[in-house]
Amino acid sequence: ESAPRPRTAAEWLRAIGLQQYEAAARSHGILRIELAAALTDADCERLKVAPRDRTRLLSSAALLAKRLEARGKRVPRSGAADTSGGYSAVYEELSAAEEMEELGDDAGALAGAATARSGGGGGGDGGDGSRRGG
């Protein structure tokens, strides 16, 4: 934990010593850390990962997935991108999930604002009540 946590697929590849695959990952649309966590053997073939590096990459990806999920991050199903041949559907799925999470965080504040506007009572506290307990 002395080193900062990687936030992108490129940072993660550098952290595990496989930075030589950074350009290939980028060219195949693997930019987000969640996509790196869902890498499969088929992805390794597409990225032309050398057989000697596959075990390290895949075991690190599995560990990364567990860590991300433990922190509440959504990780695509393993191999989710394999069937479509691209990652755009996975990006859309992750983006939609993030939007819902953000709305969930602000849902109380939004509901309070709607109630106040419709004449549902006072309580104009400036919205600070949406982040209780932390």
Distances (CA, A) of 134 to 14, 41, 62, 129, 130: 32, 39, 29, 12, 11
pTM above 0.85, yes or no: no
Which neighbouring-strand residues pair with 103? none
Q: Is the pLDDT of residue 106 over 60?
A: no
Q: How far apart are CA 59 and CA 89, in angstroms?
A: 24
Range name among 8-12, 27-31, 110-114 with the lowest pLDDT average: 110-114
* Residue closest to 37 by CA, chosen among 14, 62, 56: 62
Q: Is the pLDDT of residue 81 over 60?
A: no
The per-residue pLDDT for range 48-73, each reduced to its tens digit, is 999 999 999 999 999 999 999 999 98
